[in-house]
Amino acid sequence: MTEFTLWDILRNLLLATRWTIVLSLVSFVGGGLVGLLLLFLRISAHKAVRIFARCYIELFQGTPLLMQLFIAFFGLGLLGVDVPAWLAAGLALILWTAAFLAEIWRGCVEAIAKGQWEASASLGMGRLQQMRYVILPQAMKIAVPPTVGFSVQVVKGTALTSIIGFVELSKAGTVVTNATFQPFTVYGLVALIYFALCWPLSRSSQMLERKLNVAHRNH
Amino acid sequence: MNYQFEFNWLAQYYPEIVKGIGITLQLISIGAVLGIALGIACAWARALGPAWLKPVVATYVELIRNTPFLIQLFFIFFGLPSLGVQLGELQAANIAMVVNLGAYSCEIIRAGIQSTQKGQFEAGASLAMTPFETFRHVVLVPSLQRIWPALSSQVVIVMLGSSVVSQIAAEDLTFAANFIQSRTFRAFEAYMVSTLIYLVLAVLLRQILAVIGGFIFPRRAVR
């Protein structure tokens, strides 16, 4: 039987961490773009569009991410194409992230004083112009801390993609455990690597929030 | 796409689904009660507790909040036996959920405690209450009332997150869906049905927590 050193285990886990990082980035950027679109729908002037966006958000926030992954994995398969795990994983995570980001950003947009909408409307701006030149620049400032905070959830969410067979950090943990029979060490290391990825994000979110609060108090 | 949807299997397999719903509800009930209790204890320790305890609790909270629930579950179920702690899959799932919710609710409840006006503590002290008595009788309930909506959302999130306990073979709703799809090969339909059930459970749970909140906090919030 082969002996595995701690370095062997760690090296394999770190190699798999690359895929956790790539998937997190793809989900976050993709989710951000879809989320922005969803935000516009969510605060649209048309009631039907608003309701559609609300249902989308409710659906994705009210069901387990794991189920969404399963449905993406098996649902895409129904179209008759062979679905690789990374595609289902990326798609489900993007749609899931979008729902949460849209809701976070809606809160930020609604936190902007109503007078800003009225003032920009009185200057003859259309709705898109209002968003582009008046509302979003202000909302973006308060949106940064919760958005960075949510990125932690995205990184942790990628762990679930191991269940549909995408090989990232968690899956590598399972594979390495099966080879080494050292679950305590392996899962301990996996947890520490996740912690090393997530903690800086959590901390910077908290620090940004504190900075923003100080800036607001000086007004 | 010429796929025929078929839900005939529901007639045969609904007992599995009902059982799965039962386990999921059992897990979240125990998880919510013990998790919030742990959260209150940790929030007290972090906001008002002795100095040596604060970094210990802070480390626990940060470790849990920055690692995936799945890995916490695997660590407890697969990792702890090598320390001699053997756990059944339901026990491991319960412990993981309590530990997870404990960390998140600690932060939420702490925010409630810290938003308490200083005068409340001073009033308690002026009535010759010890700091702990003040916390227990004056500060705790209004603090919980202020953060109850946030706490409710977190309980719903943990309930939805509990779907991964199927990975250690705890027989919850997701486990039932996996079982059904392995028997019927109707994967898409099985997951569709269970996803809808989760949605209903989430909506119901939110309502139940709102009702419970109405019972625990009959009066309006005091700041």
pLDDT, tens digit (0-9, with 9 covering 90-100), for A52-74: 999 999 999 999 999 999 999 98
ipTM for this prediction: 0.91
Residues of B in contact with A191 (CB under 8 A): 63, 67, 71-72, 75
Q: Report the number of distinct structural domains present in chain B.
A: 1
Domain contains B223: no
Shortest distance, CA B127 to any CA of chain A (angstroms): 34
Which phi and psi (to 5°) does residue A112 adopt?
A: -75, 135
Q: Does B202 touch chain A (CB under 8 A)?
A: yes
pLDDT at A109 over 70: yes
Q: Report the share of chain B in percent with pLDDT over 70.
A: 97
What whole-number distance in Å separates Cα of residue A144 and Cα of residue A139? 9
**Per-residue pLDDT tens for A129-143?**
999 999 999 999 899
Domain contains B1: no
pLDDT at A188 over 90: yes
Q: What is the CATH number of domain A6-217?
A: 1.10.3720.10
The verdict on a CB contact (< 8 Å) between B68 and A174 is: no
What pLDDT is recorded for position A191? 97
- The average pLDDT across A14-21 equals 96
Q: Which residue of A has its CA nearest to B197?
A: A63
- The average pLDDT across A88-104 equals 96
The verdict on a CB contact (< 8 Å) between A191 and B71 is: yes
Domain contains B63: yes
Place of tokens 């998140």: B104
**What is the torsional sign of CA A79, A85, A87, A89?**
positive
Domain that holds residue B177: 11-216
The verdict on a CB contact (< 8 Å) between B66 and A198 is: yes
Instruction: Report yes or no: B189 and B6 within 8 Å, Cβ to Cβ.
Output: yes
Domain contains B140: yes
pLDDT at A114 over 70: yes
pLDDT at B213 over 90: yes
Residues of B in contact with A154 (CB under 8 A): none
Give the CATH number of the domain where residue B156 resides: 1.10.3720.10
Q: Which residue of B has its CA nearest to A196?
A: B66
What whole-number distance in Å separates Cα of residue B24 and Cα of residue B31? 10
- The average pLDDT across A180-198 equals 95
Q: Give the CA distances from residue B22 to residues A64, B87, B117, in Å, rounded to whole numbers and listed in that order.
A: 17, 21, 42
Residue B23: how many other CB atoms lie within 10 Å = 21
Length of chain A, in residues: 219
Q: Does B70 touch chain A (CB under 8 A)?
A: yes
Q: Which residue of B has its CA nearest to A69?
A: B191
Mean of per-residue pLDDT scores for chain B: 93
Residues of B in contact with A190 (CB under 8 A): 71, 74
3-state secondary structure of B20: helix
The verdict on a CB contact (< 8 Å) between B198 and A194 is: no
What whole-number distance in Å separates Cα of residue B220 and Cα of residue A166? 49
**Per-residue pLDDT tens for B144-181?**
999 999 999 999 999 999 999 999 999 999 999 999 99
The verdict on a CB contact (< 8 Å) between A74 and B80 is: no
A168: left (phi over 0), alpha (psi -120 to 50) or beta: beta
Quick one: three-class SS letters along B159-186? HHHHHHHHHHCCCCHHHHHHHHHHHHCC
**Per-residue pLDDT tens for B171-188?**
999 999 999 999 988 888
Task: Name the band, by pLDDT with cuts 50, 70 and 90, for residue A156.
Answer: very high
| Closest Cβ opposite residue B68 in set A70, A156, A186 | A156
Q: What share of chain B is helix, strand, coil (3-state, %, to 5)?
A: 80, 0, 20
| Closest Cβ opposite residue A66 in set B79, B164, B181 | B164
The verdict on a CB contact (< 8 Å) between A191 and B75 is: yes
First to last CA, chain B: 59
Q: Which residue of B has its CA nearest to A202?
A: B66
Long-range contacts of A3-11 (CB under 8 A, 24+ apart): A4/A176, A4/A179, A4/A180, A4/A182, A6/A185, A9/A176, A9/A180, A9/A182, A9/A185, A9/A186, A9/A189, A10/A189
A64: left (phi over 0), alpha (psi -120 to 50) or beta: beta
Domain contains B5: no
| Closest Cβ opposite residue A190 in set B69, B71, B82 | B71
pLDDT at A88 over 80: yes
pLDDT at A217 over 80: no
Place of tokens 């005939």: B8
Q: Enumerate residues 6+ apart whose C-beta is below 8 A from B204.
A: none
Shortest distance, CA B156 to any CA of chain A (angstroms): 8
**Per-residue pLDDT tens for B17-72?**
999 999 999 999 999 999 999 999 999 999 999 999 999 999 999 999 999 999 99
Place of tokens 């595995």: A4
Size of interface A-B (CB pairs under 8 A): 121
